[in-house]
Amino acid sequence: MTSQENNLGGQEYEKEHELEHSACEPELEPSACEHELEHSACEHELEHSACEQVHEMLGAYLDLELSEAEFASVDSHLSTCSTCQSQLKALEALVDRLKALPEPTLSRDLADSIAARLEKTAPPILADSTAISAETTAAPPVVSMQAFADNKRRAGTFRYAAAAAVVAVLAAGVYFFSGNRSQTIPTLVAQAPTASVGEPQKKASPTEAVRTNQKDVVTAALAKNNPVKPLSKDAKPAKPRKVEALATVASADKDDVVDAYDDIVGGGVDDYGISTNEDGLYAIQL
């Protein structure tokens, strides 16, 4: 009997406890985790989202590109999660395979081809070389106006050049009407070439020297092309050395000419009376 009582007592106790338990639990945990099965599903979800978070960081963890805090959190997760451990292992294997890929080989050395292209198309970029080649001889300058028009990339420069040209034309008008032009215009013609005179001559082959000085050459060419002649005998003519360099303009690359022109726009080319039309074509004011 005693055992039966005990048993009954135990059952009652369990029933009571169950009631208590079910009554209390919702208050303590208002989520859907009343039952053990549901609870384990919930835990699994949490684990799953933690795995997802870690999964996104695994690559950076492997690459040692995480912050200390992130690294620590991934590290602690990895110590307990075998799924993420195996993912890390697979990722590591993939990265190892990528690193081990044979490097594609060039069929030939490109240095000479590149140097040859540079010889043809671009002047070497020198820190401050403005030397003039002594080998240049006088010849009619050929400055292609079309070259300027073709270069669409320089539309912005054209706009500035146009503005500068308008100012130049207005200034020229003022001089003509003021009657004081005899002193000023010749000086302007002579000024531009002097910008580079006296600069140290750089070590370079003759051909390189020619290429490196295209900017000066164009400056000189523009000076020669300028139909505005000195009106005063006192005015200094353009330096002969510069005029000699005109020959190289004929061989100058389109882009180089534009480069050179653009550079000197800010340095007083408007003084030569150069302007642009609506299409960006450069024209020299006569």
The 3-class secondary structure across the chain, one letter per residue, is CHHHHHHHHHHHHHHHHHHHHHHHHHHHCCCCCCCHHHHHHHHHHHHHHHHHHHHHHHHHHHCCCCCHHHHHHHHHHHCCCHHHHHHHHHHHHHHHHHHCCCCCCCCCCCHHHHHHHHHHHCCCCCCCCCCCCCCCCCCCCCCCHHHHHHCHHHHHHHHHHHHHHHHHHHHHHHHHHHCCHHHHHHHHHHHHHHCCCCCCCCCCCHHHHHHHCHHHHHHHHHHHHCCCCCCCCCCCCCCHHHHHHHHHHHHCCHHHHHHHHHHHHCCCHHHHCEEECCCCCEEECC
Residue list 168-197, contact with other proteins (CB under 8 A): none
Residue 101 interacts with other proteins (CB under 8 A)? yes
Which of 123, 273 has the CB closer to other proteins?
123
Q: Applying CB under 8 A, does 146 fall inside the site for other proteins?
A: no
The answer to whether 102 contacts other proteins (rule: CB under 8 A) is yes
Q: Which of 19, 90, 166, 281 binds other proteins (CB under 8 A)?
A: 90
- Total number of residues that touch other proteins (CB under 8 A): 45
Query: Is residue 250 within the footprint of other proteins (CB under 8 A)?
Result: no
Among 103, 198, 278, 279, which residue interacts with other proteins (rule: CB under 8 A)?
103
Site for other proteins in 43-72 (CB under 8 A): 56, 58-60, 63, 65
Site residues (CB under 8 A) for other proteins?
A: 56, 58-60, 63, 65, 86, 89-91, 93-95, 97-99, 101-107, 109-115, 117-119, 121-122, 124-127, 129, 202-204, 208, 212
